[in-house]
Structure 1
Amino acid sequence: MTTTNQESVSRNQQGSIDKQRFTTKLTGVIAGGMFIDGYILGVVGTVIAAITVDLDMSLFWEGLIGASALVGIFIGGPLGGWLADRLGRKPLFAIDLAIFIFGSVLQFFVDSAWQLFIVRLLMGIAIGADYSVGWPLLSEFSPRRLRGKLLAFCEVAWYVGFMFAFVVGYVMTTAFSVDWRIILGTSTIPAVILFLARLGMPESPRWLMNKGRTDEATEIAHAYLEDPTDVLDITNEETRKGTFAMLFSPAYRRATLFVSVFWFCCVAPYFAIATFAASVLSDYGLGDGLIGAIGVNGLALVGVVVSVLLIERIGRRKLTIPQQWVCAVVLLIIGLWTSAPPALVLICFLVFAFANAMCTALTGVYPGEIFPTEIRGLGTGFATAFSRIGAGLGTFLLPWSMHNLGAGVTMLIAAGICVVGAAVSQVLAPETMGRNLSETSAPRS
């Protein structure tokens, strides 16, 4: 081999390594946003009792504080998606995190329930926008052979954040008796680190191509996309303006219905149970509920890791449908057998957490794959918002339902929600494994 050929091969190898490093970094900074989301939603569950006593809150305010960030995500998801489709992924990628940091710092200074609600609402808006920017951006840069795995990995980060929040909250409340404001404000630390890591990220080549900026799109695609077929696939992008109405057009209404209902039914029972896991498990006679809550969330983390490992081997549908039926069955057992031994109840909750997490991993995969570039952010944002209706209602209503309807009826309602999700997924969930984005997001009637 001549010196010139050796240099060419060396450059190609280095270029491939650089692209892989970029993909790894991009996945990390997007997963970091999911970690923060899980963290702020989990940490409030460890201090909600202290907040209730300190601020003399009613059950109404207790549920509202627990759901405040979810309400914010409901607002921020569609808004961030709309802006990301109009202005680009890159600018929103840093702006939303800056807003989050501002709100996170304000948590140190709140002294009333309404102030805490407003601050966490603002943080939720930023996180909702991050969903609508991060997942589309990652799907548009990921090689098709790894796209599902990388998108699902972001859910791993969410569960790590959620579980880590319980660990931090438990240690800080029991070992050091730290004020709840400081515990909530610890979310500032990872947010600042993540903000700095996101600086300098490139714009999505698919978004640029969709806007008719062909030269820029081609340059970025050749510089950052690992798979040559993905570079070629961006030429299939059409210069077309996306609208909200497209989500409900004959071409995409099935996608919108499936993603929204599936996501809603995955998170509604999980958020309700996991956010108040400590008190729920205590009500079932399991002693120190906080320890059990950490176990439930820990097994959920294992479940989503399993999905990450299997998604590019067995496909999307096999990780989406059966697990929802399992969740329905175990919650039905808890709801009907109200006098079940505490050990059996704990086992059922653990099985629910594991199976629910496996299918929830797909909630981050499907939106980035089945919506086209011009509405990928908006579609992700709409599905995010719809899912947070379920998560917010579950979190807000669970304390009331446990108190007024009883644990049995509450679990039966949760089981019914799982049945709806499983049935809709059975009919509408597509298989997108190994296909280019132009194929997975093709219109369907």
Structure 2
Amino acid sequence: MENKFTFNNGYIVGISLISALGGYLFGFDFAVIAGALPFLREAFALDAWWEGFLTGSLALGCIVGCLIAGRIADQYGRKLGLVLAAAIFAASSLGMAFSANLTVFIAMRFAAGIGVGMASLLSPMYIAEVSPAQVRGRNVAINQLTVVIGILVTNLVNYLLADGGSESWRWMFGLGAVPSVLFFLGVLWLPESPRWLVKAGRQEQAAKVLHKLGSPDYAESTLSGIHQSLQGGVRQSFRAVFEKSVRPAVIVGITLALFQQLCGINVVFNYASTIFESVGADLDRQLLETVAIGVVNLLFTLVAMWQVDKLGRRPLMLVGSLGLSIAYIVLALLLQGQAATLLISLFVLLAIAIYATTLAPVVWVLISEIFPNKIRGTASSVAIVALWIGYFILVFTFPILASKLGTFGPFYFYAVICFLGFWFVRYRVKETKGKTLEELEANLTGH
């Protein structure tokens, strides 16, 4: 068992934090649209269709980014992919800020999505591969923590910039270049993943990295486990991801990724201003609600980091899916009845708290854990492509559904999806806490 080894915990946390800056930029690009939408509607004369497409264009870029990152991760290593993601983040932030028309803006938001897609795949994968089993869940959750810090800081900045006039949205997007450059510089310092180094035949370098991570006996044991899991392996294609031996894990990964998005919570993150506008809140109150959402999201992500390696992945997923289903039904009824803004805010924040403690971090942890070493890059990219397809469907359809059914209508659909997700987790998802990546692979393949 790994708990008999000693580890260089400060170093492990340090490299996890740097890799997780990709999560911060993910959070920035994800959240900045919530504060900017009221300005973009006027600047580009958006109707419901274009509002949904502009918001969802990030997801289309994410799909491309995941596909690119999966190939780069398996052929050239995790580190190069993170460097490229950082550069794309910086360029796209400035591109959005200086957009002269809607076409240029959507093209730049699509480019930002490529960076987000790459980081959403590579940051948790990298952290999982450099972390010992008993802290892997917590360390991968660091990535989710930086995502929510990115969301909170971005919402605060948006709120402070909102009084700057009709061009405020340009500053909202342009300031993303600052953390992008910091991420780029930090990634240059990171070591390559030891698991990728072994797969690439660079055993000496892998051993050096493992000795930096922990004691000599940990390095030797881990190196042996990696070799065993890669025996007979060759570079894998997308076809290999759907082979019978790994298909159960791939089905679970894809379904969980779709569920995390179609559960509906990102409507609250991206369209908070629309939701609160529907019950009469002014622009200042709308943006203040996005800040409250960011604060609650951060606080309950910290709770999740504390509990994910104690309670386990499966119980958190069960509680989260059922809890969201109930919260959505109440929220839909309140919106339908034009209840007081404060009451609606309480249930919006309750839904955020449930999601941040359960589905948000746990799905990313599971995706980083459940696939065999030799196809992890490609399989993870397939699952995360499914996640971004789900995100696009969700944010593209919400303005259209809300215009036809009322803002409350879609939340009844999301409640049903969460209830179905509860039953899927109950019957198809197995617990993974405390097991090495190689032990999980052996359980999956029956070795």
The TM-score with structure 2 as length reference comes to 0.90
The one-letter code matched in structure 2 to 1:276 is Y
The one-letter code matched in structure 1 to 2:275 is V
> How far has the Cα of 1:95 moved from its partner?
1.8
Q: Verify: 1:125 aligned to 2:114, yes or no.
A: yes
1:198-237 CA distance string (max 9 Å, x none): 1132211111212333233223222334684464133223
3-state SS of paired residue (1:196) = helix
Residue 30 of structure 1: which of 19, 22, 30 is its match?
A: 19
Number of the residue aligned with 1:357: 356
Aligned residues: 429
**Contact kept? 1:141, 1:204, Cα under 8 Å:** yes
Number of the residue aligned with 2:418: 418
The one-letter code matched in structure 2 to 1:160 is I
Number of the residue aligned with 2:337: 339
Q: Verify: 1:110 aligned to 2:123, yes or no.
A: no
> How far has the Cα of 1:257 moved from its partner?
1.9
Number of the residue aligned with 2:188: 199
- Flag the 1:318–1:231 CA change in 2: closer, same or farther, 3 A: farther
3-state SS of paired residue (1:328) = helix
Number of the residue aligned with 1:307: 304
Residue 261 of structure 1: which of 255, 258, 265 is its match?
A: 255
Using the TM superposition, name which of 336-345 and 255-264 deviates more.
Answer: 336-345
Residue 298 of structure 1: which of 274, 278, 295 is its match?
A: 295
Separation in 1 of the partners of 2:431 and 2:303? Answer: 18
> How far has the Cα of 1:417 moved from its partner?
2.0
The one-letter code matched in structure 2 to 1:299 is V
The one-letter code matched in structure 1 to 2:412 is L
- Flag the 1:207–1:332 CA change in 2: closer, same or farther, 3 A: same
Number of the residue aligned with 2:3: none
The one-letter code matched in structure 1 to 2:239 is A
Separation in 1 of the partners of 2:217 and 2:362? Answer: 26
The TM-score with structure 1 as length reference comes to 0.91
Q: Verify: 1:282 aligned to 2:277, yes or no.
A: yes
Residue 75 of structure 2: which of 72, 86, 89 is its match?
A: 86
| 1:211-230 superposed matches below 5 A | 211-225=200-214, 228-229=217-218
Separation in 2 of the partners of 1:143 and 1:389? Answer: 32
The one-letter code matched in structure 2 to 1:361 is P
The one-letter code matched in structure 1 to 2:414 is A
Separation in 2 of the partners of 1:215 and 1:294? Answer: 48
| 1:400-419 superposed matches below 5 A | 400-419=400-419
The one-letter code matched in structure 2 to 1:291 is L
Residue 33 of structure 2: which of 30, 33, 44 is its match?
A: 44
3-state SS of paired residue (1:219) = helix
- Flag the 1:199–1:178 CA change in 2: closer, same or farther, 3 A: same
Residue 249 of structure 1: which of 243, 247, 252 is its match?
A: 243
Separation in 2 of the partners of 1:227 and 1:345? Answer: 55
The one-letter code matched in structure 2 to 1:274 is F
The one-letter code matched in structure 2 to 1:356 is Y
Separation in 2 of the partners of 1:340 and 1:254? Answer: 45
Overall identity of the aligned pairs, in %: 22
1:164-208 CA distance string (max 9 Å, x none): 111111110126765311211110000001111111322111112
**Contact kept? 1:266, 1:421, Cα under 8 Å:** no
- Flag the 1:230–1:385 CA change in 2: closer, same or farther, 3 A: farther
Separation in 1 of the partners of 2:431 and 2:127? Answer: 19
Separation in 2 of the partners of 1:115 and 1:340? Answer: 38
Using the TM superposition, name which of 276-285 and 341-350 deviates more.
Answer: 341-350
Number of the residue aligned with 2:398: 398
Separation in 2 of the partners of 1:113 and 1:102? Answer: 18
The one-letter code matched in structure 1 to 2:169 is W
| 1:60-75 superposed matches below 5 A | 60-75=49-64
Separation in 1 of the partners of 2:328 and 2:150? Answer: 25
3-state SS of paired residue (2:244) = coil
Separation in 2 of the partners of 1:83 and 1:104? Answer: 23
**Contact kept? 1:320, 1:362, Cα under 8 Å:** yes
Using the TM superposition, name which of 318-327 and 54-63 deviates more.
Answer: 54-63
**Contact kept? 1:142, 1:225, Cα under 8 Å:** no
> How far has the Cα of 1:439 moved from its partner?
0.8
**Contact kept? 1:20, 1:226, Cα under 8 Å:** no
Using the TM superposition, name which of 231-240 and 138-147 deviates more.
Answer: 231-240
Separation in 2 of the partners of 1:418 and 1:48? Answer: 27
Using the TM superposition, name which of 321-330 and 381-390 deviates more.
Answer: 381-390
1:108-128 CA distance string (max 9 Å, x none): 321111111111111111221
Q: Verify: 1:210 aligned to 2:199, yes or no.
A: yes
The one-letter code matched in structure 1 to 2:433 is M
Separation in 2 of the partners of 1:333 and 1:257? Answer: 32
For structure 2, list consecutive stretches of 5 or more residues without a partner in the other structure: 1-5
**Contact kept? 1:59, 1:400, Cα under 8 Å:** yes
The one-letter code matched in structure 2 to 1:82 is R
> How far has the Cα of 1:132 moved from its partner?
2.1
- Flag the 1:67–1:313 CA change in 2: closer, same or farther, 3 A: same
3-state SS of paired residue (1:200) = coil
1:316-365 CA distance string (max 9 Å, x none): 11211111100011112233452163344332222111111112111221
The one-letter code matched in structure 2 to 1:190 is P
